[in-house]
């Protein structure tokens, strides 16, 4: 029999042993039962590689199939610093820096303490560069540098239509223009590779592998025509140089559908170099820039008056050179009295007093409704990123919406529009009164399917008969005043606009925005053009700045589209 002290000692050790055993059993139960699912997931995670597979972004083409945006194969270069030996570190840094054009200090910092599995070195590296890098790595027997396939988004036409197209950044995210608006359509859906990985973090060649392939993005065919786009860009640039103007815009629409044939603004940029481009250069002024349109807005005022039968082309007024509204004197543009004139002459002479007369015959509520019906104060719905709605002072009642607000609006002051809005409203006048939704994507290509975009009628703004009357009145403007817009053999319709530039408390005294909207042939329009030149130093008038530019564009388009003459071409009178 054991002494009592030995029994206590044995009991103590047995108790400790049993306690320890219970703790072990409890911990095993905890890890193997309670935490089994989590531990299994962690084990799988430690030994699994999940690698997203980028989709191929859809291409962008013009109406004739010319590539405007496409992709080139490239590779991303990355390192596994934990595989780079201390002996080879300096050589790896030297090779990567010299081949990829990176600072050596930047590459060395990426290696850091040498413990990381994965560090990105450079994205979107051309294949010819990565091939040279591979050859050097193999020659020097360097470990820890790897490659992943990807693509480079390129724009073969460089700056052509850049603000209209936009660009896609390194993360395949569309920015601005078509790339931004149609990003989800173009970008596609990424795939996923799930596989076992080796100790270095790469794919185990004989292990488990599951591949979900990417879904490539759709390609789009635009309504723009590359030769037309190229011509108006060159024409705009020359016009700005000739008139010493900093910025400007030209847009060409098909008035029957509001398809955008060409859209150019200056200055512009090369989307291939988006990383070094100022953000303000990327914005498309044709849809994002607001301005007071000036007298070209009289097209809206006169259309409304005629359509509501508040006036007829023969209605007359006696223009004394000014009219008083709410105690404010509104003058004709040259402060000259026109005397008795009818509505055709009001539009021809761009008479502010006559425009106010039309609006007063209409009344504030009806005038406001027509302005909104023409699309002002709302986005046009064009499929381009960055469109703004402009500004129309909201109307609630005649008491709050003062007569002076309406009077100023009649000749394009106190209201803000975008160039596309203004042109699209004029296109409705040319198109038998139908306001169309402007659009840029004509067709979507997904695999072997082609989906065509159908033109959309927004609303009937004015009647076909009012449209016909307005077309005749606009032809009269060109034949009697804006003669520089004429093209022999064709009836051209148009209207000038010379707008003051607002500043705090008034308008800039010596600066203007000049514009001209015209279409041809007047009786069956095939195109409508807006020319807008900002702050021309050579002359402040649309007649001498914007009209000649329109004439250049119109002549070229008539020849390019082989549109036959609509009236006899005058025969030059022989001399002597």
Partners of residue 342 on adjacent β-strands: 316
Cα 548 to chain center, whole Å? Answer: 28
Are the C-beta atoms of residues 252 and 553 closer than 8 Å to each other? yes
Confidence class of residue 576 from pLDDT cuts 50, 70 and 90? very low
Of 253, 290, 285, 252, the closest CA to residue 266 belongs to 285
Residue 162 lies in a domain: yes
Lowest mean pLDDT among 186-200, 248-262, 337-351, 435-449: 186-200
Q: What is the CATH number of the domain that holds 146?
A: 3.90.1310.10
Describe the crossing of helices 226-243 and 542-560 by its angle, rounded to 10 degrees.
160
Q: Could you say which of 295, 303, 359, 467 is catalytic?
A: 295
For residues 195 and 245, state if they share a domain.
Answer: no
Residue 337 lies in a domain: yes
For residues 290 and 410, state if they share a domain.
Answer: yes
Q: 72 Cβ partners below 8 Å, 6+ apart? A: 126, 151, 152, 154
Looking at 177, 197, 222, the residue that finishes a domain is 222
Told to judge if 80 belongs to the known catalytic residues of this protein, a careful annotator would answer no
For residues 457 and 347, state if they share a domain.
Answer: yes
Of 339, 386, 370, 491, the closest CA to residue 430 belongs to 491
For residues 274 and 184, state if they share a domain.
Answer: no
For residues 212 and 230, state if they share a domain.
Answer: no
Q: 151-173 burial by CB neighbour count: b if 16+ within 10 A, else e? A: bbbebebeebbbbbbbbbeeebe
Rounded Cα gap, residues 454 and 517, in angstroms: 25
For residues 502 and 436, state if they share a domain.
Answer: yes
Give, in order, the Cα–Cα distances in Å from 439 to each of 22, 253, 349: 75, 10, 34
Look over the chain and give the mean of its residue pLDDT values, rounded to a whole number.
89
Q: What is the CATH number of the domain that holds 391?
A: 3.40.710.10
160-175 pLDDT, tens digit per residue, is 999 999 999 988 899 9
Rounded Cα gap, residues 161 and 185, in angstroms: 20
415-425 pLDDT, tens digit per residue, is 999 999 999 99
Are the C-beta atoms of residues 290 and 418 closer than 8 Å to each other? yes
Rounded Cα gap, residues 199 and 202, in angstroms: 7
* Number of structural domains the chain divides into: 2
84-138 pLDDT, tens digit per residue, is 888 888 888 888 999 999 998 998 888 888 887 778 889 888 899 999 999 998 8
Residue 568 lies in a domain: no
For residues 303 and 451, state if they share a domain.
Answer: yes
Looking at 190, 222, 254, the residue that finishes a domain is 222
3-class DSSP assignment, residue 566: coil
For residues 460 and 532, state if they share a domain.
Answer: yes
For residues 152 and 279, state if they share a domain.
Answer: no
Residue 43 has pLDDT above 50, yes or no: no
Residue 16 lies in a domain: no
Looking at 222, 238, 267, the residue that finishes a domain is 222
3-state helix, strand, coil in the chain (%, to 5): 40, 25, 35
For residues 168 and 260, state if they share a domain.
Answer: no
- Domain region containing 73: 51-83+94-102+118-222
Partners of residue 417 on adjacent β-strands: 291
């Amino acid at each position: 029999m054991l002494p009592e002290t030995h029994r206590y000692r044995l009991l103590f050790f047995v108790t400790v042993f049993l306690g320890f055993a219970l703790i072990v059993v409890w911990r095993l139960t905890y890890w193997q039962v309670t935490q089994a699912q989590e531990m299994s997931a962690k084990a799988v995670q430690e030994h699994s590689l999940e690698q997203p597979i980028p989709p191929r972004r859809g291409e962008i083409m013009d109406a004739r199939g010319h590539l405007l945006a496409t992709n080139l194969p490239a590779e991303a270069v990355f390192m596994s610093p934990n595989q780079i030996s201390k002996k080879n570190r300096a050589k790896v840094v030297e090779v990567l820096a010299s081949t990829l054009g990176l600072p050596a200090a930047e590459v060395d910092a990426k290696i850091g303490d040498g413990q990381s599995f994965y560090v990105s070195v450079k994205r979107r590296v051309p294949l010819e560069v990565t091939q040279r890098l591979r050859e050097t790595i193999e020659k020097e027997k360097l470990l820890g540098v790897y490659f992943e396939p990807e693509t480079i988004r390129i724009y073969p036409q460089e700056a052509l239509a850049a603000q209209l197209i936009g660009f896609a950044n390194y993360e395949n995210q569309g920015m601005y223009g078509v790339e931004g608006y149609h990003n989800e359509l173009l970008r596609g859906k990424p795939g996923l590779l799930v596989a076992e990985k080796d100790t270095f973090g790469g794919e185990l060649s004989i292990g488990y592998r599951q591949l979900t392939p990417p879904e490539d993005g759709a390609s789009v065919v635009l309504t723009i025509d590359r030769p037309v786009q190229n011509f108006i860009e060159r024409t705009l640039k020359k016009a700005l140089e000739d008139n010493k103007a900093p910025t400007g815009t030209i847009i060409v629409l098909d008035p029957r559908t509001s398809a955008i044939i060409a859209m150019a603004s200056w200055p512009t940029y090369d989307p291939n170099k988006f990383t070094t481009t100022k953000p303000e250069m990327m914005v498309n002024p044709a849809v994002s820039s607001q301005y007071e349109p000036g007298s070209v807005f009289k097209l809206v005022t006169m259309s409304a008056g005629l359509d509501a039968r508040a006036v007829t082309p023969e209605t007359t007024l006696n223009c004394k050179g000014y009219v008083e509204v709410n105690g404010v004197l509104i003058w004709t543009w040259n402060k000259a009295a026109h005397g008795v004139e009818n509505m055709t002459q009001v539009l021809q002479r761009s008479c502010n007093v006559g425009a106010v007369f039309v609006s007063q015959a209409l009344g504030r509520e009806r005038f406001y409704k027509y302005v909104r019906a023409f699309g002002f104060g709302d986005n046009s719905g064009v499929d381009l990123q960055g469109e703004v709605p402009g500004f129309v002072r909201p109307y609630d009642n005649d008491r709050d919406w003062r007569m002076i607000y309406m009077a100023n609006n009649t000749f394009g002051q106190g209201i803000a529009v975008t160039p596309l809005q203004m042109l699209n409203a004029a296109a409705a006048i040319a198109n038998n009164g139908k306001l169309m939704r402007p659009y840029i994507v004509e067709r979507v290509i997904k695999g072997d399917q082609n989906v065509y975009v159908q033109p959309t009628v927004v609303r009937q703004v004015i009647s076909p008969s009012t449209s016909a009357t307005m077309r005749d009145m606009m032809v009269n403007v060109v034949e009697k005043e804006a003669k520089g817009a004429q093209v022999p053999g064709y009836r051209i319709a148009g209207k000038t606009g010379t707008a003051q530039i607002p500043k705090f408390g008034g308008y800039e005294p010596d600066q203007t925005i000049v514009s001209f909207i015209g279409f041809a042939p007047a009786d069956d329009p095939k195109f409508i053009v807006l020319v807008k030149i900002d702050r021309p130093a050579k002359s402040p008038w649309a007649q001498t700045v914007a009209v000649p530019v329109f004439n250049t564009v119109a002549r070229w388009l008539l020849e390019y589209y082989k549109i036959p003459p609509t009236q006899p071409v005058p025969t030059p009178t022989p001399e002597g």
